[in-house]
Amino acid sequence: MEYRIERDTMGEMKVPADKYWAAQTERSFENFKIGTEVMPREITHAFGILKKAAALANFNLGKLTEEKKNAICAAADEVISGALNEHFPLVVWQTGSGTQSNMNANEVIANRGNEIAGAKILHPNDDINKSQSSNDTFPTAMHIAAVLAIEDGIFPAMDRLIATFRRLEEENEGIVKSGRTHLQDAVPIAFSQEISGWRVMIEKSKEQLTLSLKGLKELALGGTAVGTGLNAPKGFDTEVAKQVSALTGKTFVTAENKFHALTSKDAMVFAHGALKGLAANLMKIANDVRWLASGPRDGLGEIFIPENEPGSSIMPGKVNPTQCESLTMVAVQVMGNDVAVGMGASQGNFELNVFMPVIAYNFLQSARLLADGMVSFEKNCACGIRANKEKMKHNLYNSLMLVTALNPYIGYENAAKTAKKAYKENISLKEACVGLGFLSAEKFDEVFKPEQMAYPQK
């Protein structure tokens, strides 16, 4: 491998000749050989956005020449597009402020910008990092990445799943089945009603995530090192937020209190709490689906789901609910990530939180997994759910909890006696009720309407 010599305030460093990074990135690359978790590409993308926004703001405020602004913007565009991803090698397990990833962005954009300009006009600190500090850029990158992950990744996946559940509701209207509570038989419910519960879970999670966006759209940029805004021109914070908004199509604002923005990560905790809520709902939905599809002969077997691949290397013909299992594993990972996000956010000592890379890593992994998981579940499972009407009807009429319909006519205690007699003697509820003398056969038929029990208000 060929190398070139780069210099920083600590001396000279050998850097791979074909890479745009410089001395500070190389020091981090060599000093933190920890794990395989590279800084999320969403953060790299966000740094491209904020560095371009900062260049535009500095130019508009008279702090940067047009030549430098153009070179920075051109290089930043390549960062944003992902064309320079190979030049961002640093791992998550680095300095807790993310300083080295900020310098990675500064060095790459400076070297690539100089190449574009055809002259060495840009300095990583003096130009790319002008009016900034790692302490306000990394939390800004976190917020930009989080907003994009939610609005452009999670929301479309949620909308897709919501639309599928709404279609399934319409297709299964009027199909009544046995309800279940405590994994035991309960009173009847329409399958469409059951599905509507799944749909509203996703809709409510979307409402909660939407609520969390307000805090994420507040940017720390302009606070510089400790929140005072030292070395940033007046108006830079509002101008750079305006530029970030224009570049992303999202409405970002400058944080009113930069001291809070630098040291507290409560907006990330709040938003990830909504992600955890979504994970909990998806866990419940996926478990419902695989329980209802269990069988095919010795389980509940009330629904059919798509058969996507063989389920066993030893049992021929076995097919498993793999999409459900995948989604529940995603949910478990997100719940674990929530602990890491919360613990990391609690480490805001004095003027800075120094657990930001691990917070960003876990947050963005959760968002990515949830978005991908919902798309896969909808495409490969939910869209193909079909009711096993015969099995639903059989289970409905075999349920002892239909006796609940008799409460108004024979009372709770007599209804309980009826159910227990039917269960013990393996006879129908009608035979038990008539045999106990609580109702005549004709009256029983008059009041006992299982399908109507799912729509008591009609």
Catalytic positions: 182, 312
Measured between alpha carbons, how far is 281 from 358 in angstroms, rounded to an integer? 25
Look up residue 9 and give its two tokens.
Answer: 């305030």
Describe the crossing of helices 41-60 and 134-148 by its angle, rounded to 10 degrees: 120
**Which amino acid is present at 291?**
W
Secondary element (H or E) of residue 348: strand 348-349
Q: Is the dihedral of CA 174, 176, 180, 186 positive or negative?
A: positive
Dihedral angle, C-alpha 263, 269, 271, 272, nearest 10 °: 140
Number of Cβ atoms within 10 Å of the Cβ of 173: 12
416 Cβ contact list (under 8 Å, min separation 6): 403
Measured between alpha carbons, how far is 307 from 304 in angstroms, rounded to an integer? 9
Dihedral angle, C-alpha 176, 182, 185, 187, nearest 10 °: -50
Measured between alpha carbons, how far is 412 from 415 in angstroms, rounded to an integer? 5
Tokens 């953060």, residue located: 43
**Contact indicator for 209, 275 with CB cutoff of 8 Å:** yes
**Which amino acid is present at 19?**
K
